[in-house]
Amino acid sequence: DAKTTQPNSMESNEEEPVHLPCNHSTISGTDYIHWYRQLPSQGPEYVIHGLTSNVNNRMASLAIAEDRKSSTLILHRATLRDAAVYYCILSTNAGGTSYGKLTFGQGTILTVHP
């Protein structure tokens, strides 16, 4: 499985934007970039995903580098409820046994200060 690299932790202040980086230099053409987050004592929660183009949804934006070797999850205005572990994951849609599989790394622990 292609691997991702994320900072262990990041901090932000409430109501400020947060940019969470992810490096995935070995990404293949069929790999989608997924972001999940896990709040304390809860299961992971889907945030956003993309392939080549930048993506926006109600939770966040995903900016994908032109060479696809890195991406950034953007939370436009952090709230205390956004404090969580954020996982950047590559998931292939190429078929076969790895189809749709999520391989979680250690993620980035986001702390949001009031």
Residues that bind other proteins (CB under 8 A): 34, 36, 42-49, 97, 99-107
Nearer CB in complex with other proteins: 14/109: 109
Shortest Cβ distance from residue 79 to other proteins (Å)? 21
Nearer CB in complex with other proteins: 18/48: 48
Helices and strands (H, E) in the chain, number of each type: 0, 9
| 8 A C-beta contact, residue 94 and residue 81 | no
Shortest Cβ distance from residue 114 to other proteins (Å)? 27
Nearer CB in complex with other proteins: 80/102: 102
Shortest Cβ distance from residue 97 to other proteins (Å)? 6
User: Which residue pairs from 43-50 have beta carbons closer than 8 angstroms and sit at least 24 positions apart in sequence?
Assistant: 44/87, 44/104, 47/73, 47/86, 48/73, 49/91
